[in-house]
Amino acid sequence: MTCNRPGDALPAKNPTAYAPIKAGDTINVQYYRDYECNDLPEGSDLKGCNRYQREWVHCAGPIMVYMANCNGPCENFDGKGKVWFKIQEAGMKDGGHFNRCDFAQGEATHRGWEQGGRVLRGWPVVIPKNLKPGNYLIRHEILMIELNPVQSYPNCANLEVSGTGDAVAPEEYLVEFPGTYSMNGKDTSVVLTGRQRVSINTGWRFLRTTKNPDNLIYDLRPDVSNQKDLTILKPWILPSANDFINDPAKHHQRPTGTPDRKVPFVQATFDDSTWEDVTLPHDWAIKGPFYTEENPIIGGGMGRLPIQGISWYRRKLTMTEVDEGKTIYLDIDGAMSYAMVWLNANLVGGWPYGYNSFRLDLTPYLKLGENQLAIRLDNPVDSSRWYPGGGIYRNVWLTKVNPTHIAQWGTYITNRDVSAQSATIDLSIKLANKGSTSRLIEVATDIHAFDSESGVIAEKVAEFPRRTVTMSTGQRQPVGLNFSATVNSPQLWGPPPTQRPNLYVAVTRLYADNRTLDTYETRFGIRSLTYDAGKGLLVNGELIRIRGVNQHHDLGALGAAFNSRAAERQLEILRNLGSNAIRMSHNPPAPELLDMVDRMGFLVIDEIFDCWERQKNANDFHLIFPDWYEPDLRSFIRRDRNHPSIIAWSFGNEVGEQTTGATGAAVARKLRDIVHEEDRTRPGTASMNAAQPDMPFPEILDLISLNYQGEGIRDTPPYAGSQGITTPPMYPKFHTKFPDKMILSSETAAALSTRGTYMFPVTNEISAPVKDTAGGGGNPNTRQVSAYELYTTPFGSSADKVFTMQDKNPFVAGEFVWSGWDYMGEPTPYYSARSSYFGIIDLAGFKKDRYYLYQSRWRPDLRMAHILPHWTWPNRVGQITPVHVFSAADEAELFLNGKSQGRKRKEASNFRFRWDNVVYQSGELNVVTYKNGDPWANNTVRTTGAASQLQLTADRSTINADGSDLSFITVAVLDSKGDVIPQAGNAITFSLSGPGEIIATDNGDPADMVSFPSKTRKAFNGFALVIVRTKAGVSGSITVTATSTGLSSAQVTLTAQ
């Protein structure tokens, strides 16, 4: 037995031994070292091994699994020649990282797989279920392409495969070792598939200034006072949009030459050694400091952080002989904003809209050896209604392909006739040819099952018919091809808990002259969507009530800089809430976020614009809408349309055009038509907060998407006198006017609260606007809002009122709450604060009381009873202190120090238990709840003692040593009995030892103006947060310590591996 690894193939230990396995079953691959194999703990899977190789760092790259038919005893088979066929591959995971051999490092929680109720450490490999029985070699290998020179770690074993299949690998799919891979010792790349995607997030130098240092500008803007001597670059940037403008006659012609402006920052000879070293994704503004003065240049609406200014990013790119003849693209997932790119002092192009992803072709400007890349960004004041961030805040890539390749976002997969028995899959492919010769191309696409947790491409389940096409020289427009195939017994994608988010991947390969020109993977899911005007949304025939939230793009203390773990944490907490849907408010999300919601099974409304031609802020998108609405909308849909999570496209949010009659409707029609052209399977909509049913605007929309109008705006006595839109509940009127259109609430509630803050007296209403008066729920001095969860903006409604109106109108598909998490900016009602009060979850990720109100509604089977407020009120002895309980129970009895305060039953339209006349006395508050007469859930809160100690709790104790993985550590202030002090505000200092760093702290207080990077943070109502990041490639133990004057300190230890 041999793996045919050139030069140092090792002999098999027992070449006559076979592992028996049935075709279709799964085997488990584990890596370990012989010299570490002694004294394995009892019960471990590998007898005789002392430990897994946690320190093995040469372990990041693609994973490949091949098999070869021995055609007899494998001990006589040397594996030479074209005898190997691939059964599995795993490339980059979500977030742009390769697998790090976690299966070789004893990680049993994330990379393990389950069999028979136990979790095994290892990498799962499915043997093709239709494979012909016989003796096979299996070859599992890891390709360390990030090392120089490239290294390969193959491992082989004998398999005795049983079963009833008769499939053998076609001759054209067989490969040999060595010879399948092309390596070059001068470069870290491996030519595997004709396509290489390389992260270039490291090695950047950065400069930011609030003054224009180069006299460049995309176009004139209202905030530019001195327009003299400015060079306008718009004519050079507009051609970057041409691939997304359908009418060739409207394509922009690039001016000849380069702009007549000498810019030192784009020159290779410029000395940037004094600039800041940064790693992408990068948000320059989040480190602060906050503007705390009155009337600052950046106010509370945009987060009081220094987002404004011009920035430059510079980086070297090295091209080797391996890159010759390639087409090389720069792919930027998001840069805020007015991005302009130079390579070797040549202006390549750019993209103004900071939320969209875009591509530029670097090929004409590249040379062998060292190249100078420079990117300029321009962030104006008054450009957003919330915190936009600043910088290249998402991932950046180089994509290297052959001149003939699959175009950008060049596959489009839809499904039809979906049933448990079969589904028809339709595939459209666009091919690009940048080459100087015509050639005949063969196009082949296979469909495989996909394990989204591990990134493993599993067995093939279907294939599309092969086709050949001639790509002509100088073919400017991509060539389009259409295919259809059938998947039998499809594993459908759908939202948990009643369905599973199963995924597939279509692997498309281009062949010419007996070699692979390109390989392109398209993840997708098979599901049916029905938009029923009388019922709501049906997924795979099942009615799914939308339990959604709105999410802005920032990640709290990390700002706009995308981080996969931070985003995943947000989704995990939302999933525990019971949420099943996200509205991406109000802009395209990071691509990795859509991969996550696909994997976790969330439904998504994907949104792109907050304004059109009518402005909301002086420097917002309305300035570039006329030139960019088409390329922005088309590129957005092409990027995202293969994601099964997306149920609708939103091309506008509360736009001013909704009430401008035929003029606004004409703009809406223009955008809706683009949606229909780019995706024939999903509806297009725009969210309305003012349009009426008899206006032209809603006629254009495929879905009726209402913001706050459904439950009514300022329509009850507590809201009388507040200025703004006033309307009764509009669900019935829109349903009557549009009986064939599904209605959903794209924004509901807009309720306000500060975690753990309670003010007295408490309103008797079920919904009331925040006021700075007794019983009004607000305190302008502390800038806090009461957490009794009854208070809202003047245009909003409490959760209780929203639930009532949704129940009265069951044809409404569901809701998207504003908002899931607090976010930077828009701190209504106190714009001297930094962040919003809207969230069900605060900015640090701590659950507000409202979390449990929604949980009781959205997870009615969860045995939970949540009591509010806390019960430590030394200044309220003898005073009325109302007690509320959130639970899915239908009856509850409250006890104070053992004495019943009454047993209450929920009546229709009641969503909480209220005891409004409880007189405070210290001690213990206990609730016992019942459902259908049976005990349901109990809970207790008690009066706490003096603060005595700190407690640290990490969300994960083992994290990847990749330089981007995070641990979110909660610090709690406790009394001697271990109870959280509910009003504690102790100053806490954090320190760290080991291969990590503290990158931010927070506490969820919207009024806290201490910069996020500070290592000292006051607890807010008992809690604070510290965020730790690993160092790339450095494993080991990380110890985090928290200290506070007068309190016992606390430590927590993390493992980076």
Q: What is the CATH number for 687?
A: 3.20.20.80
pLDDT (mean) for 542-546: 98
Same-domain check for residues 397 and 408: no
On whether both 33 and 155 belong to a single domain, the answer is yes
**Dist CA 320 CA 291 (whole Å):** 47
> For residue 243, what pLDDT is reported?
96
Band of residue 1024 on the pLDDT scale cut at 50, 70, 90: very high
Q: What is the CA radius of gyration of the chain?
A: 30
Q: Write the CATH number for 363.
A: 2.60.120.260
Does 106 reside within a domain?
Answer: yes
Look at residue 440 in the predicted model and tell me its pLDDT: 92
Task: Please check the confidence at residue 707 and state whether its pLDDT lies above 80.
Answer: yes
Annotated catalytic residue within 107, 568, 654, 789? 654
Q: What is the pLDDT of residues 411-458, one digit of tens each?
A: 999 999 999 999 999 999 999 999 888 889 999 999 999 988 777 888
Residue-level pLDDT at 150: 61
Mean pLDDT of 217-234: 88
613 assigned to active site: no
Q: Where would I find the beta strands (DSSP E) of 279-395?
A: 309-319, 327-332, 339-343, 346-351, 358-361, 369-379
Summary mean pLDDT of the chain: 91
171 carries an active-site annotation: no
Considering only 95-104, 754-763, 813-822, 1033-1042, which range has the smallest mean pLDDT? 95-104
The CATH code of the domain that includes 964 is: 2.60.40.10
The tally of domains found in the chain comes to: 6
Query: 565 vs 45, which has greater pLDDT?
Result: 565
Q: What are residue 312's DSSP bridge partners? A: 207, 376
In terms of average pLDDT, the best of 1-10, 16-25, 193-202, 634-643 is 634-643
pLDDT at 120: 41
Rounded to two decimals, what is the model's pTM?
0.86
Domain assignment of residue 187, yes or no? no
Q: Output the pLDDT for position 125.
A: 87
Q: 978 is written with which tokens?
A: 């271990």
DSSP state, residue 699: H
CB 643 within 8 A of CB 604: yes
Q: How confident is the model at residue 475 (pLDDT cuts 50, 70, 90)?
A: low
Same-domain status, 626 and 728: yes
Claim to verify: residue 280 and residue 203 sit in the same structural domain = yes
Q: Which residue has the higher pLDDT, 241 or 17?
A: 241
In this structure, which amino acid lies at residue 532? D
Instruction: Report the C-alpha gap between 184 and 507 in whole angstroms.
Output: 26
One domain for residues 281 and 309? yes
Residue 1043 pLDDT > 80, yes or no? Answer: yes
Q: What per-residue confidence (pLDDT) applies to 109?
A: 34
Q: Tell me which DSSP letter residue 148 carries.
A: S
Point out the least confidently predicted range of 16-25, 76-85, 471-480: 471-480
Q: Kindly give, in sequence order, each residue whose CB lies less than 8 Å from that of residue 436, ignoring residues fewer than 6 positions away.
A: 403, 473, 474
Confidence of residue 108 (pLDDT cuts 50, 70, 90): very low
pLDDT of residue 11: 54
Task: For 446-476, give one letter per residue: b (16+ CB within 10 A) or e.
Answer: bbbbbbbebbbbbbebbebeeeebebeeebe
DSSP 3-state assignment of 427? strand
- Please give the residue that has the higher pLDDT: either 166 or 395: 395
* Banded pLDDT at 30 (limits 50, 70, 90): confident
User: Looking at the predicted structure, is the pLDDT value of residue 60 above 90?
Assistant: no
- Quick one: CA dihedral 471, 474, 475, 477, positive or negative? positive
Q: Does residue 846 sit within a domain?
A: no
Mean pLDDT value of segment 29-47: 47
The span from the CA of 532 to the CA of 647, in Å, is: 13
Instruction: Please classify residue 774 by burial: count the beta carbons closer than 10 Å to its beta carbon, then call 0-12 exposed, 13-18 middle and 19+ buried.
Output: exposed
Where does residue 301 rank: exposed (0-12), middle (13-18), buried (19+ CB within 10 A)?
middle
Residue 307 covered by a domain: yes
9: in domain? no
Phi/psi of residue 671, nearest 5 degrees: -75, -45
Please report which confidence band the pLDDT of residue 56 belongs to, taking 50, 70 and 90 as the band edges.
Answer: very low
pLDDT at res. 911: 97
146-160, 971-985, 988-1002: least confident range: 146-160
Confidence check: pLDDT of 183 > 70: no
Asked if the model's pLDDT at residue 37 lies above 70, the reply is: no
Least confident of 151-155, 256-260, 426-430: 151-155
Which of 141, 607, 747, 815 is labelled catalytic? 747
d(CA 119, CA 115): 6
Same domain, 394 and 442: no
Largest CA distance in the chain: 90
Residues 699 and 804 in one domain: yes
**Which residue among 914, 942, 970 closes a domain?**
942
Mean pLDDT, rounded, for 948-971: 96
- Count of CA atoms in the C-beta half-sphere (13 A) of 69: 13
- For residue 187, the SS3 value is coil
Residue 706 in any domain: the answer is yes
Q: Supply the pLDDT for residue 457.
A: 84
In this prediction, residue 51 carries a pLDDT of: 37
Residue 193 maps to a domain: no
pLDDT for residue 42 is more than 70: no
Same domain, 393 and 411: no
Is 13 within the bounds of a domain?
no
Please say if the pLDDT value at position 651 is more than 90.
yes
Say yes or no: 612 and 746 in one domain. Answer: yes
929 in the same domain as 822: no
Confidence of residue 191 (pLDDT cuts 50, 70, 90): very low
- Total length of the chain: 1057
**86 pLDDT more than 50:** yes
Residues 209, 142 within the same domain: no
Strands 231-232 and 216-217: parallel
Cα torsion at 786, 789, 791, 795 (round to 10°)? 140
Tokens of 361: 């072709």
**Cβ–Cβ contacts within 10 Å for residue 740, how many?**
8
pLDDT confidence band for 513 (50 / 70 / 90): confident
Supply the pLDDT for residue 129.
Answer: 80
Q: What is the mean pLDDT of residues 151-155?
A: 77
User: What is the enclosing helix (H) or strand (E) of 397?
Assistant: strand 396-401
Q: Which of 475, 505, 527 is the last residue of a domain?
A: 527
Question: Is-contact 335 377, C-beta < 8 A?
Answer: yes
Contact yes or no for 341/265 (Cβ under 8 A):
no
- What pLDDT score was predicted for residue 306? 97
Q: Residue 506 — very low, low, confident or very high, per pLDDT cuts 50/70/90?
A: very high
For 710, the domain range is 530-838
Note the pLDDT tens digit of each residue in 282-332.
999 999 999 999 999 999 999 999 999 999 999 999 999 889 999 999 999
> What is the rounded average pLDDT of the residues 1046-1054?
98
Q: What is the pLDDT of residue 364?
A: 96
Mean pLDDT of 854-861: 98
Distances from the Cα of 247 to the Cαs of 104, 612, 626, 682, in angstroms?
53, 21, 15, 23
The enclosing domain of 75 has a CATH number of 2.70.50.70
Judged against a pLDDT cut of 80, whether residue 502 lies above it is answered with yes
pLDDT per residue as tens digits for the range 910-956 = 999 999 999 999 999 999 999 999 999 999 999 999 999 999 999 99
Q: Can you tell me the mean pLDDT for 85-101?
A: 68
Q: Contact, 136 vs 79, CB < 8 A?
A: no
Three state DSSP letters for 553-583: CCCHHHCCCCCHHHHHHHHHHHHHHCCCEEE
Residue 862 has pLDDT above 60, yes or no: yes
Which of 8-17, 760-769, 827-836 shows the lowest mean pLDDT across its residues? Answer: 8-17
Residues 595 and 723 in one domain: yes
- Band of residue 94 on the pLDDT scale cut at 50, 70, 90: low
